[in-house]
């Protein structure tokens, strides 16, 4: 079973090390007997699913897209008919290309809360080498 140290778990969940430690103290994440503490991969995966479900339930929007990234708009670049919008969602940077009209209609600006929904027929999965 793969295990993760607190700092790596925090990075994967997009939260601080202190948040992971609080979750451990609250019994929301188990740890192994290893020193320093490690979190079992299956427990980390379950917590990630819980967090995603909480974010999904926070809105009043129903969607067929299952890949949703809630984050903060960090850049809006409008050029002619098109706009590029960057959203930082935890450790993930999601970039969307849309019409300038859509960006204006959504009133997107740096600092806005936004959700990027991704629906694709192909997803590439990678693992660390070694």
Helix axis angle, 6-13 relative to 41-57, nearest 10°?
30
For residues 49 and 68, the answer to whether their CB atoms sit within 8 Å is no
Is the per-residue pLDDT at 113 higher than 80? Answer: yes
Looking at the chain, the whole-number percentage of residues with pLDDT higher than 70 is 88
pLDDT digits (tens, 9 = 90+) for 48-101: 888 877 766 655 666 665 677 888 899 999 999 999 999 988 778 889 999 999
Q: What is the pLDDT of residue 63?
A: 62
Which phi and psi angles does 45 have, rounded to 5°?
-65, -40
Which range, of 4-8, 48-52, 85-89, 125-129, averages the lowest pLDDT? 125-129
**Separation in Å, CA 111 to CA 43, 58, 72, 86, 105:** 33, 19, 6, 11, 16
Average pLDDT value over all residues in the chain: 86
The token pair that represents 19 in the structure block:
């948040």
| Residue ranges in the chain assigned as alpha helix (H) | 6-13, 17-25, 41-57, 100-105
């Amino acid at each position: 079973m793969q295990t993760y140290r607190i700092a790596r778990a925090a990075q994967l969940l997009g939260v601080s090390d202190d948040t992971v430690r609080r979750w451990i103290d609250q019994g929301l994440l188990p740890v192994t007997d290893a020193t320093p503490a490690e979190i079992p991969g299956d427990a980390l995966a379950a917590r990630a699913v819980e967090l995603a479900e909480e974010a999904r339930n926070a809105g009043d929007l129903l969607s067929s897209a299952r890949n949703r990234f809630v984050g903060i708009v960090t850049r809006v670049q409008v050029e002619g008919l098109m706009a590029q919008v960057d959203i930082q969602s935890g450790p993930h940077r999601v970039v969307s290309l849309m019409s300038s009209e859509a960006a204006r209609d959504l009133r997107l600006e740096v600092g806005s809360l936004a959700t990027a929904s991704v629906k694709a027929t192909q997803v590439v999965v990678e693992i660390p080498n070694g």
